[in-house]
Amino acid sequence: MHASQGRSAGLGLALASAFAFGGSGVAAKPLIEAGLDPLHVVWLRVAGAALVMLPVAWRHRALVRDRPVLLLGFGLLAVAGVQACYFAAISRIPVGVALLVEYLAPALVLGWVRFVQRRPVTRAAALGVVLAVGGLACVVEVWAGLGFDVVGLLLALGAACCQVGYFVLSDQGGGEASPDGAEPPHPVGVIAYGLLIGALVLTVIARPWGMDRSVLAGDTLMDGARVPAWLLLVWIVLLATVIAYVTGVISVRLLSPAVAGVVACLEAVIATVLAWVLLGEHLAAPQLIGGALVLAGALIAQSATPRPPSGPVASGSGPEEAAGGRAAAQDAVR
């Protein structure tokens, strides 16, 4: 495949991944409003996707021995933590707002770098943080005393923090070779085991045996239109999880990580538009402007080149590079 063809294919897959991930909240919210607990919806999504990815997990079973910490971190943070917090958030606040709050993650990563690791960041990265925080203030209408449910906003922020945890975890060896010289872990294998571990953790937390299964046999409402619940479940499992993760990972292989990360930011726009069209969740003009600022800040924070450290630092790339270059992590949190 020529370079231009590979780039075109990568852009197409990255866009497909953004669309697939962007539709997860839109498909999940009617199920939650029909009576399913948010944690039960998360469990159905993760457990269903884990079942589909089981053959992939078996093929990469050596990862359990070689990278147990990475797999546990992925399962606990990028799967269980992000999904549980995000779905709980959309049960209380609009889908677009929850996802925009989650996009504070790049800014939070840079905060970790600057204040915890005490490493300098570029002015462009700092500008991205300012834009993201200012945009968030518009989205949540701080001048009105927070126009949305505070608990919902905190849950969305929890999803962002879990995403930061995965960025930092990735920096601790996710892309490095094993001590014995083995190849870096295959990202699709990591996704498969992350889903399996996340499903196990969520089984203990969500207790799916208490789920109201009758909801899945009936219909749900999407802005007044009746949609079978099972169809939304298939959408969440296959389209918004399995296909979204796989296309996202392949797109990173075909594109530069920075380009794939920029395209991934379209997910928030797609989610907001889908929620507007399919769920009737209209956002006011200041909130739309704020959303644009959040996305602009996220883009700058992800793509800003970090300054070389002025003093001795630990080996390995810094988390600011994880925020800017590891688009695979960005694709793994929705």
pLDDT in tens, 224-263: 889 999 999 999 999 999 998 888 777 766 765 555 556 6
- pLDDT at residue 330 in the model: 45
Percentage of the chain modeled with pLDDT above 90? 27
- pLDDT exceeds 90 at position 304: no
Which residue has 């700058």 as its token pair? 300
| Distance (Å, whole) CA 266 – CA 274 | 12
Q: What is the DSSP letter of 236?
A: I
| Residue 280 binned pLDDT confidence (cut-offs 50, 70, 90) | confident
Dihedrals phi, psi of 103, to nearest 5 degrees: -75, 10
Question: The whole model's pTM is what?
Answer: 0.76
The answer to whether 287 touches 143, Cβ cutoff 8 Å, is: no
Tell me what the pLDDT averaged over the chain comes to.
Answer: 78
The string of DSSP codes covering 142-203 is GGGT-SS-HHHHHHHHHHHHHHHHHHHHHHTTTTSPPTT-PPPPPHHHHHHHHHHHHHHHHH
pLDDT tens-digit readout, 204-218: 999 999 999 999 999
Tokens at 317, concatenated = 């790339």
* Tokens coding 314: 């630990």
Least confident of 149-163, 274-288, 311-325: 311-325
CA distance 15 to 10: 9
Tell whether the model's pLDDT for residue 316 goes beyond 70: no
In this prediction, residue 111 carries a pLDDT of 75
Nearest-angstrom CA–CA distance, 76 and 173: 17
Q: How confident is the model at residue 173 (pLDDT cuts 50, 70, 90)?
A: very low
Return the minimum-mean-pLDDT range out of 60-74, 208-222, 318-332. Answer: 318-332
More confident residue, 323 or 161: 161
Q: What angle do CA 80, 327, 3 make, to 5 degrees?
A: 140
The predicted pLDDT at position 52 comes to 96
| Cβ atoms of 151 and 85 closer than 8 Å | no
Residue 312: pLDDT band with limits 50, 70, 90: very low
> Is 122's pLDDT higher than 80?
no
Of the ranges 27-36, 108-117, 178-187, 323-332, which is most confident?
27-36
- The pLDDT > 70 percentage for the chain reads 75
- Note the pLDDT of residue 126: 77
Assess whether pLDDT exceeds 90 at residue 133.
no
pLDDT number for residue 310: 42
Do the Cβ atoms of 289 and 97 come closer than 8 Å? Answer: no
pLDDT in the model for residue 308: 44
Q: For 46-59, write each residue's pLDDT tens digit.
A: 999 999 999 999 99
